[in-house]
Structure 1
Amino acid sequence: MKILYAGLILLLLSVISVFIGVVEISPKSLMHLTENQWNVLLNSRFPRTLSIILAGAALSVAGLLMQQLTRNKFVSPTTAGTMDFAKLGVLVSMIFFTEVHILIKLTMSILAAVIGTLSFMWIVKKIKYKDAIFIPLVGLMLGNIVSSIATFLALRFNVVQSLSNFFVGDFSMITKGRYEVLILIVPMVILVYIFAHHFTIVGMGESFSKNLGISYEKMMHLGVIIAAVVSATVVVTIGILPFLGLIVPNIVAIYAGDHLERAVPYTALLGAIIVMIADIFSRLIIFPYEIPIGLTLGILGSVVFLVILLKRRNSYAS
């Protein structure tokens, strides 16, 4: 029943999203829309709403997967440097392959994200830590180093404007013909659900996985590829959506537990709902203008992250 309620909430928010915009379209006018209104609906409003659902759901599931693989509730595509590496991959393609097709940008971004995520996993495996918060701090430092390299390259090759415009999370530029690549993340989410039991076992440790006949290395590599593909696809089409893969899995874990097979549907729905609410708020706060959703999610995510951090600190202290 909870899944049904979440689905109904998402459906209601999606309907609201479709009717928000500078071009006035109301439910009453659906039967006699002008040609311009039809164009707005088909080429802007529907693609934007679908993109919000896909990006929110997939990025949240990617965060859930990374937390399971690293056995750390503070890890996500944002705090592991995955998105920063994906950003670097796109920047490299923009510098060395001018006027490149979006699929080439996506391929370069995925390769960089895979390399970055594997590097983070290697660091996690090699270092010893006593506090769980140390791991995401390492990821944030790694991401900041990569982001600094990207900024240097952007300054060196005079593409700073393109860098800033390209990577601020924003759905305002999503139109028909620019969002279809997001369909690639649908099979990634399905794979997470299909192999949810395997990923859950892998999250219990290498020796435990081998005792149950699960290939630890193969499942780790599959998880990294899934997280990288999702993160890179979102970065290329929309930009960086901060903290989403961090806060949503933590909220879901409170009610649904840590088993992926149970948590994936809740995580996907809640992620889509949060992004939809943030997008609606971003469009209405200074209507008819809008603020980038990356800013809205950054503020919301940082507040929730601090609350989660303080709660875990208190639980450890007690």
Structure 2
Amino acid sequence: MTHRSALLASGFGLGCLVLISLLVGAGDLSAATIVSGRLSADDLKLLFVSRLPRTLATLLSGAGLAVSGLIMQMLSSNRFVEPSTVGVTESAAFGMLTVTLLAPAMPVFAKMLVAAGFGLAGGVLFMAILARLRLRTGLIVPLVGLILSGIIGAGTSFLAYRYDLMQSLGAWMTGDFSMVLAGRYELLWIAFALTGFAVLAADRFTIAGMGRDVAIGLGLSYGQTVFLGLVLVSLVSAVTIVSVGAIPFVGLVVPNLVSILAGDNGRRTVPYVALSGAALVLACDIVGRIVRAPYEIPVGTTMGLIGSLVFLSLLFSGRTARG
């Protein structure tokens, strides 16, 4: 299958999931009604205020998180990492907690920037620790990341418990699209723009992943490229946490699956990673809406279950061992 044909097939599959997402939910909305155009006022309100914004939010979150995971794997030269396993997501949540304690009236966009700044600090700290490791086997790197994530997460949980903000912290750390309405997801378009920028910079991230000496030898500014990648990852993580909460395993599982099927050419695989991430998160959201209808299971829960099973199967098969 050619590159173009594969993209068209991926787009068609994603389109089918989008249609299902628009139809599934507590409110009645049929495909025949949409196709015929005979939509009542209530149908239009349900479609444009709830279903369409929710579907768009799911697509934007999935694509952004998957590409962020790919960037982290390129920069660290390890297939076992993603923002939620290297301290970026936990640091962004810590930033949200900090701004909630110190400046609760701050606008949402400003809170997102603060969270991104904390996430960037967490990513820089991880890369600094990584640079000092003498033994960088495939499992040591994610182990260090998980330890760092655990330390930051524990500190955040302590502060949240101390100031009675555990419920808010739980909302930030559990992805859920049930409250997404028009006017409450638009920040995620920032993640879409950042994903597009990552496509343009994919070659640079690939070269940076070869190591400092190789990157400098090829004329690339290694430090600036790593910093740029961490900024992109931090912003996407912060936007997602502020808008819908953290969604685990997307950036870990999707790039590995795409790598197995399409290889490791960064510029070539980024579109597949974005489409696959969007499709996977959307599928998990649909499953969460169907299993206990009319009640919902948060997408963070369904993605955590499905993602962990997929990752374990990849791990035991040895397909992700390169890094």
Give your verdict on TM over 0.5: yes
2:312 to 306, 311, 314: 306
Residues 205-226 of structure 1: CA deviation (Å, up to 9, x unaligned): 1111111111111101101101
1:130 Cα offset (Å):
4.8
Matched, 1:213 2:219: yes
Alignment of 1:117-196 (within 5 A): 117-196=123-202
Residues 70-95 of structure 1: CA deviation (Å, up to 9, x unaligned): 10000101111111111111111111
Any gaps of 5 or more consecutive residues in structure 1? none
2:291 to 267, 285, 290: 285
Q: How many residues align?
A: 316
Identity of aligned residues (%): 38
- Other structure's SS at 2:318 match: helix
- Other structure's SS at 2:85 match: coil
Matched, 1:84 2:97: no
1:17 Cα offset (Å):
0.2
Residues 147-190 of structure 1: CA deviation (Å, up to 9, x unaligned): 11111111111111222233311010111111000111122112
Which residue type is aligned with residue 4 of structure 1? L
Is the 2:120–2:234 contact (alpha carbons within 8 Å) kept by the matching residues of 1?
yes
Which residue type is aligned with residue 291 of structure 1? I
- Other structure's SS at 1:180 match: coil
- Other structure's SS at 1:302 match: helix
Is the 2:93–2:172 contact (alpha carbons within 8 Å) kept by the matching residues of 1?
no
Residues 274-306 of structure 1: CA deviation (Å, up to 9, x unaligned): 111101100000000010110111111111221
Instruction: Flag the 1:42–1:303 CA change in 2: closer, same or farther, 3 A.
Output: same
Match for residue 48 of structure 1? 54
Match for residue 29 of structure 1? 33
Which residue type is aligned with residue 306 of structure 2? L
1:127 Cα offset (Å):
1.2
What value does the CA root-mean-square deviation take over the aligned residues? 1.5
1:204 Cα offset (Å):
1.0
- TM-score of the two chains, using structure 2 as the length reference: 0.95
Which residue type is aligned with residue 182 of structure 2? K
- TM-score of the two chains, using structure 1 as the length reference: 0.96
Is the 2:86–2:146 contact (alpha carbons within 8 Å) kept by the matching residues of 1?
yes
Provide the C-alpha distance between the structure 1 equivalents of 2:77 and 2:321, rounded to a whole number of angstroms.
Answer: 17
Provide the C-alpha distance between the structure 1 equivalents of 2:320 and 2:99, rounded to a whole number of angstroms.
Answer: 45
Matched, 1:72 2:63: no
Is the 1:167–1:238 contact (alpha carbons within 8 Å) kept by the matching residues of 2?
no
Q: Which runs of 4+ in 1 moved over 3 A?
A: 313-316
